[in-house]
Amino acid sequence: MSNERVIKKYANRRLYDSTGSRHVTLDDIRKMIVAGEKVKVVDDKSGQDLTRSVLLQVISEQEQFGTPVLSMELLEAIIRFYGNPVQEMLTRYMEQSVGALARQQQAMRAEMAKALEGPMAPMAEFARQNMEQWAKIQASMLSAFAPPKPQSPSAENDTQPPKKE
């Protein structure tokens, strides 16, 4: 992928962002990912892909020092799935579940942004609909109480029986 940010890991365990030309920490990598960037961590000498192990370190650090996302029960269940014939199914299930949650979160953000664009917009639409209903009710009531309209002379001639001569 051309939009991946390549991070090199040196023998002294320091991480270097070759795109940003600076040394980074695990927290910096976490912030990049939160911002939607793709990262790829490679060993500086061998070129081996270390992305997975570094991402696990980021998760471990968050779980240890932040608010945990993974409960003890969930961690134990995940450990039990390793080597189990349904391990691949768990992986797909978790990926799909997190993907669905992310899509729902995105949709919720879009709806909230729409509501915040014009906080009175939903109320204005509601008021407009109420006014339409009120106008219909008034017209209906007025027509019920209003005297019938007089018919035009030509209309009277049409409704009267023809004169016999």
Specify the pTM.
0.61
Side-chain-side CA neighbours of 163 within 13 Å: the count stands at 2
Block means of pLDDT (10 residues each) for the chain, length 165 residues? 83 90 94 93 94 94 87 90 89 90 87 72 76 78 61 56 56
How far apart are alpha carbons 27 and 40 in whole angstroms?
A: 15
Could you tell me if residue 88 is left (phi over 0), alpha (psi between -120 and 50 degrees) or otherwise beta?
A: alpha
b/e map 87-112, b = 16+ CB within 10 Å? eeeeeeeeeeeeeeeeeeeeeeeeee
Provide the pLDDT for residue 1.
44
The full set of domain ranges for the chain reads: 1-68, 70-139
